[in-house]
Amino acid sequence: MSQQDRLVIFDTTMRDGEQSPGASMTKEEKVRIGKALEKMRVDVIEAGFAAASPGDFAAIQAVAEAVRESTICSLARAVDRDLEHAAEALKKAERARIHTFIATSPIHMQYKLRMQPDQVVEQAVYAVKKARSFVDDVEFSCEDAGRSENDFLCRIIEAAINAGARTINIPDTVGYAIPEEFGYKIKTLLQRIPNADKAIFSVHCHNDLGLAVANSLAAVANGARQVECTINGLGERAGNAALEEIVMATRTRHDLFNISTNIDTTQIVPTSRLVSSITGFPVQPNKAIVGANAFAHESGIHQDGVLKHRETYEIMKAEDVGWGANKMVMGKHSGRAAFRSRLEELGVTFDTDAALNEAFARFKDLADKKHEIFDEDLQALVSETINDSAPETFRLVALESHSAIGETPVAEVVVNHNGTEKRAKAQGSGPVDAALKAIDSIAESGANLQLYSVNAITQGTDSQGEVTVRLEKGGRIVNGSGADTDIIVASAKAYIHALNLLLGSAERQHPQNDGV
Ligand code: KIV
Ligand code: ZN
């Protein structure tokens, strides 16, 4: 297949996606997502921003070691320290890419960088050459290209390609572009830059106006051959273009686009669920491709039509994107070896026998309550085991709640706080409210609850409820998650997880802070 017929899929769930407030991921979680993306045959995985923090650095290293088929990429501002960190983190990758960037719009150059356009070009060339001294595969991005002048873009991109960049990325950083305009920008750049044929042109669109996918597709129609996107459209502010929508739009309308991706589309739904469960960001039911209602036909007319001839109302097959693939995988009688082997297939390995034993004990508890265990249950269970390996200031020991029609709900909890067991009781508008109030009377966190959501992990009333709790304190936002067949217990676990995160994790550097 020629370069013109092929669309490169660059996933940035673990970098731009992680920039969503509260969506930070641990090293182990990134490895699991990396393995799922590899299984989906994503071409390039941006695993993080190596200079952001030691945690980000270690996560990129771990993904680079675990994932062998996809190219692994680290973001780096156009400065020595970032480029050196990126190169070091990627050392063990089978295929490594450094993605370096600098802002090119008048507003960013003047107010953020405080640099003249000539200096910006010089810095870009320096960074691309330095990145090329470490790896062959270098991508250069013009931050805020959506609001940059085309004359200046032509100048800096030509220089970056001459310096050795193989991919040129045109981000609509602030989600300001409109499809026709953005498509025209790509066409203009491809026509006007004399060495444009020496690089693949890429786009990276944000969704502030709800146009990220439309802008990316307009760019593809005008010659872009890489799209940067994220699972479930996760990403800074309103998010990035959703991978599943880009892939399925170009596939379903191959008649228009005439290009193919390398993606195994049956992995889309399982990967969407994995990312949702790890980040605690639920997928809205009407979300295209991966929402619970995306293939559900409610009206009688539609149902009748679909039964008579599927294509009357369906443009894609649910099974092609991985719906219906969730099968009962394990039960009460499954042994430790089967448990370990199924988790390995899901990309989860345990560092120690003790960690495996702990997860297996949780599995047995769950299997006592719920006869059929699905992959989604295993993923939630493993997320909890991994959550629990983070420093625990608080741990839920016991919970009892009571609610009845006409009575005020009440909950009593026992929480272990740094080794000391504390008991508290509270009333609330419902049993969940009462349980969370009781926990907070022990924690005295002073945090603001920004989001509380419950999702059924699988079908049936015996499903585990997966709860997300978002807390904010002093401008820091964290998402805690917890799963249980009892949603009051799941809620308490999620709240305690969020409290531990709020007290625990270290600050990270944001890549779009001025690094020059
Ligand atoms: O949105 C953006 O401009 C980015 C770049 C760093 C590629 O995320
Ligand atoms: Zn971005």
Q: Which residues constitute the domain of residue 437?
A: 391-504
Ligand 1 atom nearest to 101, measured from its CA:
6
Residue nearest to atom 5 of ligand 1 (CA): 143
Residue nearest to atom 2 of ligand 1 (CA): 173
Please give the mean pLDDT across all residues of the chain: 92
Phi-psi region of 292 (alpha: psi -120 to 50; beta: other; left: phi over 0): alpha
User: How many CB atoms lie under 10 A from the CB of residue 113?
Assistant: 19
Ligand 1 atom nearest to 19, measured from its CA:
8
At position 131, the amino acid (one-letter code) is: A
Ligand 1 centroid to residue 16 C-alpha, Å: 8
Q: Which pLDDT score, from 0 to 100, does residue 301 have?
A: 64
Ligand 1 centroid to residue 78 C-alpha, Å: 13
DSSP 113: I
The residue among 366, 388, 410 that closes a domain is 388
Q: Is residue 306 part of a domain?
A: no
Do both 361 and 218 map to the same domain? no
Listed in sequence order, the DSSP H helices in 53-110 are: 54-66, 80-89, 106-107
Ligand 1 atom nearest to 12, measured from its CA:
8
Q: Is residue 214 part of a domain?
A: yes
Please report where in the chains the tokens 């106006």 appear, as a residue. Answer: 209
Give the pLDDT mean for 73-95.
98
Ligand 1 atom nearest to 174, measured from its CA:
1
Flag the least confident range among 75-79, 175-179, 344-348: 344-348
Ligand 2 centroid to residue 160 C-alpha, Å: 20
Q: What is the pLDDT of residues 13-24, one digit of tens each?
A: 999 999 988 788
Do both 15 and 135 map to the same domain? yes
Q: Is residue 121 part of a domain?
A: yes
Q: What is the CATH number of the domain that holds 403?
A: 3.30.160.270
Strand stretches in 304-461, DSSP E: 328-330, 373-374, 394-402, 410-417, 420-427, 448-456
Beta strands at 137-143 and 167-172: parallel, antiparallel or unpaired:
parallel
Do both 351 and 495 map to the same domain? no
Do both 132 and 257 map to the same domain? yes
Ligand 1 atom nearest to 171, measured from its CA:
3
Do both 139 and 222 map to the same domain? yes
CA atoms of 467 and 494, how far apart (whole Å) = 6
What sign does the CA torsion over 349, 353, 358, 360 have?
A: positive
Instruction: Write out residues with Cβ below 6 Å of ligand 1.
Output: 16, 101, 141, 143, 171, 173, 204, 206, 511
Q: What is the pLDDT of residues 286-337, one digit of tens each?
A: 999 999 889 876 666 666 776 777 778 789 999 999 987 555 578 888 888 8
CA atoms of 431 and 433, how far apart (whole Å) = 5
Ligand 1 centroid to residue 89 C-alpha, Å: 20
Do both 235 and 382 map to the same domain? no
Q: Which pLDDT score, from 0 to 100, does residue 298 have?
A: 60
Q: Which of 140, 143, 216 to mutate to test the pocket of ligand 1 (most atoms within 8 A of CB)?
A: 143
Q: Which pLDDT score, from 0 to 100, does residue 299 have?
A: 61
Do both 443 and 353 map to the same domain? no
- Bridge partners for 373 per DSSP: 330
Q: What is the number of the ligand closest to the CA of 235?
A: 2
Q: Which pLDDT score, from 0 to 100, does residue 376 have?
A: 79
Rounded CA Rg of the chain? 24
Do both 346 and 463 map to the same domain? no
